[in-house]
Amino acid sequence: AALTLLVVFLIFADISEIEEEIGNSGGRGTIRSAVNSLHSKSNRKQILKFLDAEKDISVLKGTLKPGDIIHYIFDRDSTMNVSQNLYELLPRTSPLKNKHFGTCAIVGNSGVLLNSGCGQEIDAHSFVIRCNLAPVQEYARDVGLKTDLVTMNPSVIQRAFEDLVNATWREKLLQRLHSLNGSILWIPAFMARGGKERVEWVNELILKHHVNVRTAYPSLRLLHAVRGYWLTNKVHIKRPTTGLLMYTLATRFCNQIYLYGFWPFPLDQNQKPVKYHYYDSLKYGYTSQASPHTMPLEFKALKSLHEQGALKLTVGQCD
Ligand code: CTP
């Protein structure tokens, strides 16, 4: 009970600190500050010392062959064999080779997006990154529709598509994949052994139905590189979340980065409850002790970059 109290206290302490700053910044809940190119540039330079985003965003065909054995990053004792299907879907060149964008949006999945009206603003960015196949159609007013890259942790297949137990769920996933319409589908296939079959199911579906997506499978060193960068900056994250991975990668190819849907707190700035995800009923407690993530700590780091003008965080409504 004492531990729970402490956790609750820490969460609220964090929120009131953030609220103070929002209060000072004015506006309708959006933390205001222009993204400063100079700060973005120096940030990018630092990150580049740790990772080569163009390469680390995906393993390429030339570097693996069917039958190769890979040790999972988080379960070093478990291995997987590179299947023929996975091999087929590895890109020949980096999906972001020589790419550069003026402004990018990274859309996290917090319920803070609900009633934000941010859809249009998000869609106006040159490159839009989304996480974990989050639905867009039904929430377009708040989250937009444009998707240039979307991530898919294998666990999504279980959580959002009932592990494809029957034809209906397989069809649902297939429709979602078809709707991606040429975007990059980024699948962390080598992180944890639990996702083995799920990755194979998705690969099979894509090939069998000629789904128009550009698949990417992050390199084995990406996670260590990202962790290394943040640790050097005294952000002691256990396991970076998808959102933080995306931000870190995006610094390489985006001049200005705008974050939406990053709010790992159970209450909003007006003390109203916020859903953990804008689209499902997963509870906030999901991120607490049992989770490998340290989202509030990540948020603090991102907020500090926002204050320096290196990125822009929107945590309320858009104008
Ligand atoms: N996020 C957030 N606040 C929330 C929910 C999500 O800031 N309440 C951000 C996190 O950076 C997260 C991203 O949005 O990585 C995407 O959300 P989600 O799909 O929940 O990602 P993960 O937690 O990384 O996925 P998983 O639970 O499968 O590890």
3-state secondary structure of 309: coil
To test the pocket of ligand 1, the residue of 11, 110, 152 to mutate (highest count of ligand atoms within 8 Å of its CB) is: 110
Q: Is the ipTM of this complex over 0.85?
A: yes
C-alpha 224/C-alpha 229 separation (Å) is 9
Distance 65 CA to ligand 1 centre (A): 32
Catalytic residue, candidates 210, 224, 236, 293: 293
293 is catalytic: yes
Average pLDDT over residues 93-113: 97
pLDDT surpassing 50 at residue 297 = yes
Average pLDDT over residues 181-187: 98
| Least reliable range by pLDDT among 37-41, 130-134, 172-176, 259-263 | 37-41
Q: How far is the CA of 107 from the centre of ligand 1 (A)?
A: 10
**Which helix or strand (DSSP H or E) is residue 258 part of?**
strand 254-260
Please, which pLDDT band fits residue 43 given cuts at 50, 70 and 90?
A: confident
State pTM to two decimals.
0.90
DSSP-based three-state secondary structure for 3: helix
Nearest CA to ligand 1 atom 19: 132
Residue 6 to residues 3, 9, 139, 296, Cα–Cα distance (Å): 5, 5, 35, 14
Contacts of 229 (CB under 8 A, 6+ apart): 46, 47, 49, 50, 51, 248
Question: What is the residue-averaged pLDDT of the chain?
Answer: 88
- What average pLDDT does range 212-225 have in this prediction? 96
How many angstroms does the Cα of residue 68 sit away from the middle of ligand 1? 31
